[in-house]
Structure 1
Amino acid sequence: MRATTWAILVCVVATLSPLMAASHANQPGHFGLGGILGEPTGVSAKYTLDRQFAVQGALGLSLVEKGVWLSTDFLIHIHNVFGDGGKLPLYVGGGLVIQDRGDRGKDKVRETSLGIRGVVGVEYLAQDRISIFGEASAQPFLFPSWGLGISVAAGARYWF
């Protein structure tokens, strides 16, 4: 029994070793999952479609509005802006945001708002499987009432 367990373990490690050594951070066809701090604070995910395009999303809490935040963005990467060989791509994009904009106005009415979002950020490809990012965004809310939100956040992702 013990020999069988060791044989299976050796086979699994031998199979996965090349995959674990491969660079995945922000590479086409790979998925990154991690955390984000700021506005919002929660979970962040990103899927890289190709060298230039990606989609990202965040689910968390808005610390300013004291409510739930859900956003998704389509991103365009601009490489070599900082002359770094592509390890620090700039990205711009846009998408949608749904946010519980709690305790608004003198009546302290909570409302869930839908808006569009414009985002600009930079992502540092720290290691083969880890990236660190910072971004700023503006989100005009369109429904059920007009409003404007601005956010700044930073985070990190592990890439699969």
Structure 2
Amino acid sequence: MNKTYILSVIVSLFIFSNLNFAQEKGFGLGVVLGEPTGISAKYWLTPGTALDFGLGYSFTSSNSLFDFYVDYVFHNSDMIHSTENFVVYYGPGARLKIKESTSRLGVRGVIGILWLPRGTNFDVFVEVAPILDIIPATKFDFSGGIGGRYFFN
């Protein structure tokens, strides 16, 4: 399968997704437990897109000091049919892993499920992200976690 076809399918999914959901503005701050464990933040850019940030410590890597990641995520509320407000999100991002001996920079793709409890300023999420480190050498990795954030509107 050629790369142009795959890229076309991914871009089409982003463009033609239905992006209606409840929480669509503001800045949220909270925690994420997983790989890495630390602080999670989200800043809504539009009703369907946001920047997700994370800064944490990796308990699974030897001599790791911290991980920082940022993702540009798209949201789709039509993928899960429920009386609750569940939203699927996905998008590209980057990760910087700082270690005592060296640092790694990579690209990542994230996919997750977001729960937006009605009438609150909270969200709860679970996500997984495959990572391809490109600097200083190519290495495949995974991260993921569960967390929650409070939104300051």
TM-score grouping bracket, smaller chain normalisation: 0.7 to 0.9
**Structure 2 portions without partners, runs of 5+:** 1-20
Structure 1 distance, partners of 2:25, 2:123, is: 15
Structure 2 distance, partners of 1:140, 1:113, is: 10
CA drift at 1:100: 2.5
Deviations 1:4-25 (A, max 9, x none): xxxxxxxxxxxxxxxxxxxxx9
Normalization by structure 1: what TM-score? 0.75
Structure 1 distance, partners of 2:25, 2:115, is: 18
Distance verdict in 2 for CA 1:92–1:54, change over 3 Å: same
Distance verdict in 2 for CA 1:94–1:85, change over 3 Å: farther
In 1, are the aligned partners of 2:23 and 2:116 still within 8 Å (CA)?
no
Higher-Rg structure is 1
Q: 1:155 is matched with which residue: 136, 147, 153?
A: 147
Distance verdict in 2 for CA 1:50–1:155, change over 3 Å: same
Tell me the equivalent position of 1:116.
107
Structure 2 distance, partners of 1:26, 1:39, is: 28
In 2, are the aligned partners of 1:27 and 1:50 still within 8 Å (CA)?
no
CA RMSD, 1 decimal: 1.8
Tell me the equivalent position of 1:51.
47
Tell me the equivalent position of 2:26.
30
Distance verdict in 2 for CA 1:150–1:118, change over 3 Å: same
Distance verdict in 2 for CA 1:115–1:32, change over 3 Å: same
Secondary structure, counterpart of 2:113 in structure 1: strand
Moved over 3 A (4+): none
Aligned residues: 129
**What is the letter of the counterpart of residue 38 of structure 2?**
G
Deviations 1:39-69 (A, max 9, x none): 0100000011222111110001111113310
CA drift at 1:101: 4.9
Structure 2 distance, partners of 1:123, 1:64, is: 25
Deviations 1:48-95 (A, max 9, x none): 122211111000111111331000000000112111367110000111
Structure 1 distance, partners of 2:22, 2:109, is: 20
Higher mean displacement: 68-77 or 81-90: 81-90
Tell me the equivalent position of 1:84.
82
**What is the letter of the counterpart of residue 95 of structure 1?**
G
Structure 1 distance, partners of 2:43, 2:84, is: 18
Q: 2:137 is matched with which residue: 145, 148, 151?
A: 145
Distance verdict in 2 for CA 1:54–1:61, change over 3 Å: same
Tell me the equivalent position of 2:16.
none
